[in-house]
Every structure is written in structure tokens, then in C-alpha cells.
Chains A and B, each alone.
Chain A
Amino acid sequence: GIQVEQSPPDLILQEGANSTLRCNFSDSVNNLQWFHQNPWGQLINLFYIPSGTKQNGRLSATTVATERYSLLYISSSQTTDSGVYFCAVSGNNRLAFGKGNQVVVIP
């Protein structure tokens, strides 16, 4: 199956700082999503982005499908951005997840 690697695994940010999370995947995909998992375990969809660039408020994402990577940008981070960010991809019928980026934003 498709392998998904996320980096960095852990990130500590000062409130107000910017950061970039990276997702590399091993094969061509037709779906790529970024999720934020809240402390209660819910996976919140941030972006559906198999290719191109999207922005939503302080978050933006870029996927370069031909080079098999995606980036998630967090600007002006807030404490509410803390949590685990997952990249998930599919090339067939199901999503494969990376191990996540654990982000802690300190005030």
C-alpha cells in the first residue's frame, strides 16, 4: 500500500509563530486530505487537496502531486492550533494515514 511520512513528528511553537508541516507519499494519489485531531479524538477535515494550493484563514496547503508531497502552513499560530495533524492519501479505495505531526503552541 501507499506509504505516508510526515515531518516533523513533534513541534513546539511560540504563539504567533509560523510553521510548515510536510507530508511525503510513495505513489500517485487521487485524494489527499489534511486533518486536525482534537483532544477528544475527532478528526476535523482541514483541506481536501489532491493538487494545487488552498487557503482557509491562517491555514494554507499545497500539494505537488508530481513530486509526491504536500505542505500545510500554519501562520500566526494560536494555542487552539495545538493537537495532532494528519495527512491522509488514497490511490484506490481507502485513505492511508501518516503518523501525524504533534503540534504544541505555547502562550
Chain B
Amino acid sequence: DTGVSQDPRHKITKRGQNVTFRCDPISEHNRLYWYRQTLGQGPEFLTYFQNEAQLEKSRLLSDRFSAERPKGSFSTLEIQRTEQGDSAMYLCASSGVGYTFGSGTRLTVV
């Protein structure tokens, strides 16, 4: 068990570009979650998967955001046409007994 892995750790992109993040959950966990955290705030829920099915999406997840978990293993989160307001830490978690979080991807949009 290597924990939850996220890649990349940091991403700097120009406004208007597309970015994609990857999350590898703990292998025996079938639930996977994406959260976003901005400075001084707690993480906010974006979406979650049970195996490959995306079961819930937050209103925070605008139509520029899309998440997939094609084979029920790793997941990707894509942001299209990035805006400066998308700058945040994007956290992935998987759950068994309790939630385990990855190290996050820190996105900076310039």
C-alpha cells in the first residue's frame, strides 16, 4: 500500500490553457474523491466515483471541469480554458475505513 498518489505536484499554466491531473488511489479502495482547497479555507468537495461511475458532482464543478475514472482505478481531472480563479490545491482521496488523501496538485494560473 503506497497511499494515494497525485501527479504532478505543481503546475503553472497560462490562462486559457487546458490542464490535466492524475490520481492513483489505494488499490483496494473503490471510492475516489476530488477536492479543491484555496488559501485559508478547508477542502471543498468537487466530485466522487464509486468504481468507474461518477455518482455526485458539486456545483463548484463548472462545465470547464471534467473528471474520469475509466477502469475504476486511476482518475483524471481536466480543467479546460483555465482562469485565474482556478488557482488552488487539488486534492484526491480514496476511502476504505476513513479517507486517505494524496499530496495534492498545486495549480497556479498566470
Contacts and interface: CB of A to CB of B under 8 A. Distances in A.
Interface of A: 4, 31, 33, 35, 40-43, 45, 48, 86, 88, 93-100
Given A31-B99, A41-B106, 11 more contacts: A4-B42, A41-B104, A42-B101, A42-B102, A42-B104, A45-B99, A93-B31, A94-B33, A94-B56, A99-B40, A100-B42
Nearest to A6: B42
Interface residues of B, number: 24
5 contacts: A42-B103, A48-B98, A88-B42, A88-B99, A97-B42
Contacts of B37: 41
Nearest to A44: B101
B98 A99 contact: no
User: Chain B binding site: helix, strand, loop or mixed by DSSP?
Assistant: strand
Contacts of B89: 41
B100 A45 contact: yes
B47 to A, nearest CB: 9
Nearest to B89: A41
B43 interface: yes
* Residue among A42, A48, A98, A100 with max Cβ neighbours from chain B (10 Å): A42
A94 B98 contact: no
Interface string B26-40: 000001010001001
A30 to B, nearest CB: 11
B101 A43 contact: yes
B42 A48 contact: no
